[in-house]
Structure 1
């Protein structure tokens, strides 16, 4: 039975070839390259969008692409990953939550398959940005403007409930969400200005989180220690001192 592929996700994959999509992809790939290069382990998985090779800078021997978009090695949904419990060291979700039917279920699956201390990398559209406002335009292209646009505070709450700890968060793409390359080039000055003056207003957020598993605390026996009677020890010393003094006084050889 063929998978019911979300049309929005396929539209978004095609949209990445547009000028605005290329601008976004270039910014995100730079972040992924900087982040995954220092993550070590045995198995790394990218879910969806093989057009963005998010694991290319990672050095794990086993790197895999899965999902529903064309070009992946394994067809599956984010809500039902075909991996064993605690078997993945690194899981990458590039805009998966933006187009998932049930984003919370995807995160629950991520928690299931990740090893303790495993890493989860997420990129998504920020609704509190110029890109988020772009969604309000009537007749907008299906992708990416009809995605979920999950806010970062809400996403962090979901992750915290699942036991994930945020290591760092960054924002990208402060430029205008327009397709004309002329206006894209003119708005590049907003990158430095936005990162300095309104850092949380970037069009895309990037999240690096780790799965924390708190271990049990071992409780051992409570050993008793014999009380030290200091007074008796001092008294013993005093008695020996008195006895020696008495002997010295009674025997002339002891003097």
Structure 2
């Protein structure tokens, strides 16, 4: 997939996210992202792509940005879920951030529509601080939606944007492992069949709970949460604990107050 095709596929995703099925996915992903990001602390966080979702809504970092591609249209930028304007226009394979400067990066459906997904991940690893965190959202090819998409390609009636190269969860974990991004948690959701109307999606709402219990790995969408590990780095406790302990041990006996006789 070349760069021009990548941009067109992202635009196609923007349109699909406005459909009933897209709203269903956005609702699940927003709830899951709120839960995951609420307790991630630091100073700088970036969401790359898909402005229809406010991936950092529940996060409390002081500096938060939404980023879009340089070719995004004014209409696309105007639909940011948070109501904020897009703060950064960038090329996903060449992020305009210093190395080891970000505490959190969120990639909602970016890798599967990127011309060079490996390079995007390498850039994310570069800009993350040690112990920095990344959250990735993707469509699961091993699901009813993935099966429907495969059949739709043959019949020329796809359910999801046709240009997407959907990445399986095991494959995604292998990519992350090669970059020393250790997977902390993973989630699956959206177990309803690939229906096109809100009426039918609501009828299959009961499958959300059933799917999580009986077939948890075949949800239409997954989310991976990983942490950047740096070899040889040891996390130590706060310095004041050591100073306190040292001061208690170093108190000379002559400083003790003797009781009056």
TM-score after normalising by structure 2 = 0.79
Q: Please tell me whether the aligned partners of residues 116 and 211 of structure 1 are also in contact (alpha carbons under 8 angstroms).
A: yes
Q: Following superposition of structure 1 onto structure 2, how do residues 234-245 of structure 1 map, counting pairs within 5 Å?
A: none
Equivalent positions of 1:187-202 (< 5 A) are: 187-202=204-219
Provide the C-alpha distance between the structure 2 equivalents of 1:216 and 1:166, rounded to a whole number of angstroms: 18
> CA–CA distance in 1 between the matches of 2:18 and 2:7?
19
Deviation, 1:142, is 7.9
Instruction: Tell me the SS of whatever aligns to 1:32.
Output: helix
- Kindly name which structure, 1 or 2, has the bigger radius of gyration based on alpha carbons: 1
Q: What residue is the counterpart of 2:110 in the other structure?
A: 96
Structure 2 unaligned regions, length at least 5: 78-85, 235-261
Secondary structure at 1:6's aligned position in 2? helix
Distance 1:86 1:63 in 2: 16
**Does the CA-based 8 Å contact 1:8-1:142 persist in structure 2?**
no
Measure, in 2, the Cα distance between the counterparts of 1:126 and 1:192: 18
2:132 is matched with which residue? Answer: 118
Q: 1:61: which partner in 2?
A: 62
Cα RMSD (Å) of the superposition? 1.6
Tell me, in whole angstroms, the C-alpha distance in 1 between the residues paired with 2:112 and 2:99: 25
Partner of 1:228: none
Q: In the TM superposition, what is the alpha-carbon distance from 1:88 to its structure 2 partner?
A: 0.4
Aligned to 1:31: 32
Q: Is 1:164 paired with 2:164?
A: no
User: Which is further off, 16-25 or 179-188?
Assistant: 179-188
1:1-255 paired onto structure 2 within 5 Å: 4=4, 6-68=7-69, 69=72, 70-71=76-77, 72-136=86-150, 137=152, 138-141=155-158, 143-215=160-232
Secondary structure of 1:214's aligned partner: coil
Instruction: Report if the CA contact (8 A) 1:50-1:65 is conserved.
Output: yes
Deviation at 1:144, TM superposition (A): 2.9
Aligned residues of 2:185 and 2:225 also touching (Cα < 8 A): yes
Q: CA deviation at 1:167?
A: 0.5
Structure 1 residue runs without a partner (length 5+): 218-255
Q: Give CA deviations for 1:115-149 in whole Å, capped at 9, x if unaligned.
A: 00000000000000011012121223584343111
Shift of 1:77: 1.8
Residue by residue, what CA displacement relative to the aligned partner does 1:42-96 show, whole Å, maximum 9, x if unpaired? Answer: 0000001111110011001100011214323221121111111000000000000
Count of equivalent residues:
215
Distance 1:20 1:58 in 2: 26
In 1, Cα distance between the equivalents of 2:92 and 2:126? Answer: 12
CA distance in 2, matches of 1:178, 1:43: 38
Which portions of structure 1, spanning 4 or more consecutive aligned residues, are displaced by more than 6 angstroms?
Answer: none
